[in-house]
Chains A and B, each alone.
Chain A
Amino acid sequence: DAGITQSPRHKVTETGTPVTLRCHQTENHRYMYWYRQDPGHGLRLIHYSYGVKDTDKGEVSDGYSVSRSKTEDFLLTLESATSSQTSVYFCAIRDRGREGTEAFFGQGTRLTVV
């Protein structure tokens, strides 16, 4: 398995609270991605990073922010959690972007906002 660790694996939080999910890799890959998975929607890209301090938005970025201060860590923050952000969140890493290399995925974080 690729060295990707997501934490926490499960979290229940209250509406309006901030939440941070962590993705840690040991592969030294340049690209890191955050997706959310919801029934009927598949995986939707939230944000991604192409290097330390270099990030860009995906298709569903509203309400989320990210930070990457080290190559190995990519943090996803929900500024003020809402029930619509209840989902399973997956982190992925990729060695190169535009050359078509595959992504490797973490085990996911199940977030419930009550």
Chain B
Amino acid sequence: AQSVTQLDSQVPVFEEAPVELRCNYSSSVSVYLFWYVQYPNQGLQLLLKYLSGSTLVKGINGFEAEFNKSQTSFHLRKPSVHISDTAEYFCAVSVSNTDKLIFGTGTRLQVFP
């Protein structure tokens, strides 16, 4: 069965610093990968997705992620964070032979001034 691991439950960072949120997945078949963001008391919204092609994917709000098949990773990065990026971030995987969308446990990004 596929699974998603987000290694960091919380990531504190100062404003304008770079950040990386880590995500690893396990699957024996091809996958599609997603990053979602959840602001307080809201639902989830899509940041970016990897389906195929270029392994570097750019999303909204200046975020990007890199798919690394050999390391089964899909880490999310931003070169310079803002206070408004404070939120919870979820990595998700969809396996090509199922209809399920499986989420990781989330990483809470807190940006300090």
- Spell out A's residues near B (CB within 8 Å): 31, 33, 35, 40-45, 48, 50, 56, 58-59, 90, 92, 94, 97-98, 100, 102-108
Contacts and interface: CB of A to CB of B under 8 A. Distances in A.
A98 B98 contact: yes
B59 to A, nearest CB: 11
Given A42-B90, A102-B46, A92 B98 contact: no
Interface residues of B, number: 26
A58 B49 CA distance: 22
Nearest to B96: A98
A43 B90 contact: yes
A43 B103 contact: yes
Interface string B25-57: 000000010101000001111100101000000
Contact of B101 (A33, A41, A108): A33
